[in-house]
């Protein structure tokens, strides 16, 4: 890949996470499917927030978490996402700039509030997300600047963004700019919920050459190809995208590239506290290695290490320097 100002520029939903511990009985009482993400409106966001227990607030959003992880590895990174000019929007902007990420998307002037995700974490560490997108849905093609996105070796896009039509247009514009400038496009399927809604469109993007690197967990890959057999799904995946990574939780990950496939085990973790952000930080480790020209096996091992760090505590962003953690584990960064 040609030398660029940024290793990775992420484009996605700018969200502030509101995280609270709960139990399975609460999920049942609220009619929530454990471990999934659902979209809610502002009224439901206020109602559920009032029912939740004590919470912590932390800047989030899938691609933004990945970019935060990349910054922790020492990568040069930027982010594009829409917030409102309100308190939560100010928190998001401050947090992402404070970790060394360039973020200059103009805030929404009037209209919806900054997005928030109400995340309920059960004792087994599983997270159930209830997301009010708010200002996120107002990301438009004019927010995608060639001088910013075109300076990325890899442009990383999240499936959660693929909902409003203007955001789809912004997505396509970013992919076109990246490829025109010699960069690569990476894409996360984000959630089986997203795959079920946009399966045909995601496959069209993959088969049309818009995506160079695909990330998905096992359930998302099953949903994408509507099969319960992982081997079948992997074979189909191989034909549709040049490089793909399928995460399997404690079973590690499967990397598929051209004619090759290999597996990498998960990194050990003393206790699973909160799985929020596991996939996001996995992508961060993999993209960091790939943007620096490392072997795919090394990329997947860095990814596993980053995912293990984030699931060991509450919140979706690393609490230690991932660069130092990687060096302590023998990676010559």
What pTM, to 2 d.p., does this model score?
A: 0.90
CA distance 12 to 214: 15
Per the DSSP assignment, residues forming a β-bridge with 19 are 56, 119
| Token pair recorded at residue 165 | 């039509």
Tokens 């096996």 label which residue? 297
Tokens 């995608």 label which residue? 144
* Residue 175: inside a domain: yes
- Number of structural domains, the chain? 1
Q: What angle do CA 146, 201, 256 make, to 5 degrees?
A: 85
* Residue 333: inside a domain: no
* Residue 112: inside a domain: yes
Domain of 196, in residue numbers: 6-323
CATH assignment at residue 231:
3.40.1190.20
Q: Which alpha helices (H) appear in 189-328, and where do they start and end?
A: 192-207, 218-225, 230-240, 278-291, 296-310, 322-328
Of 322, 318, 313, give the one whose Cα is nearest residue 269. Answer: 313
Decide if 252 contacts 283 (C-beta within 8 A). Answer: no
* Residue 79: inside a domain: yes
* Residue 329: inside a domain: no
Largest CA distance in the chain: 53
| Token pair recorded at residue 217 | 């967990």
* Residue 47: inside a domain: yes
* Residue 291: inside a domain: yes
- Give the pLDDT of residue 22: 96
Phi/psi-derived region of residue 160, left when phi > 0, alpha when psi is between -120 and 50, beta in every other case: alpha
C-alpha 226 chain-centroid distance: 22
Of 158, 162, 149, give the one whose Cα is nearest residue 102. Answer: 149
CA distance 46 to 183: 41
- Backbone phi and psi for residue 89, each to the nearest 5 degrees, phi listed first: -65, -40
Instruction: Give how far Cα 121 sits from Cα of 43, 61, 132, 218, 273, Å.
Output: 22, 16, 17, 21, 9
CA distance 238 to 240: 6
C-alpha 32 chain-centroid distance: 22
Annotate 98-153 with three-state secondary structure: HCCCEECCCCECCCCCCEEEEEEECCCCCEEEEEECHHHHHCCHHHCCHHHHCCEE
- Give the pLDDT of residue 204: 97
* Residue 330: inside a domain: no
Local mean pLDDT, 10-residue blocks, the chain (333 residues)? 86 92 96 92 94 90 96 98 94 95 94 92 91 93 97 96 91 97 97 93 97 97 97 95 96 93 94 89 98 96 97 90 97 89
């Amino acid at each position: 890949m040609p030398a660029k100002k940024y290793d990775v520029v992420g484009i996605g939903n700018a969200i502030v996470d509101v995280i609270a511990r709960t139990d399975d009985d609460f999920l049942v009482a609220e009619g929530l499917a454990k471990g999934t993400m659902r979209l809610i409106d502002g009224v439901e966001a206020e109602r559920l927030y009032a029912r939740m227990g004590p919470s912590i607030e932390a800047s989030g959003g899938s691609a933004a978490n990945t970019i935060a992880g990349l910054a922790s590895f020492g990568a040069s990174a930027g982010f594009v996402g829409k917030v409102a000019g309100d308190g939560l929007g100010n928190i998001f902007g401050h947090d992402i700039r404070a970790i060394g990420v360039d973020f200059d998307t103009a805030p929404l002037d009037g209209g919806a509030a900054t997005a928030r995700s109400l995340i309920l974490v059960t004792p087994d560490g599983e997270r159930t997300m209830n997301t009010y997108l708010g200002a996120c849905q107002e990301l438009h093609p004019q927010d995608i600047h060639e001088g910013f996105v075109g300076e990325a070796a890899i442009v990383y896009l999240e499936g959660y963004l693929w909902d409003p039509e203007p955001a789809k247009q912004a997505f396509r514009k970013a992919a076109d700019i990246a490829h025109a400038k010699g960069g690569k496009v990476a894409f996360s399927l984000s959630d089986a919920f997203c795959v079920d809604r946009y399966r045909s469109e995601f496959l069209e993007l993959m088969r049309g050459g818009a995506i160079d690197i695909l990330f998905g967990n096992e359930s998302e890959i099953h949903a994408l190809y509507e099969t319960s057999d992982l081997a079948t799904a992997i074979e189909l995946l191989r034909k549709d995208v040049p490089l793909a990574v399928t995460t399997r939780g404690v079973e590690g990950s499967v990397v598929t590239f051209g004619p090759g496939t290999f597996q990498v085990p998960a990194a050990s973790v003393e206790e699973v506290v909160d799985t929020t952000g596991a996939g996001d930080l996995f992508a961060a480790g993999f993209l960091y290695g790939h943007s620096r020209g490392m072997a795919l096996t090394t990329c997947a091992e860095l990814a596993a290490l980053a995912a293990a760090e984030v699931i060991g505590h509450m919140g979706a962003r690393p609490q230690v320097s991932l660069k130092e953690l990687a060096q302590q584990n023998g990676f010559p960064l």
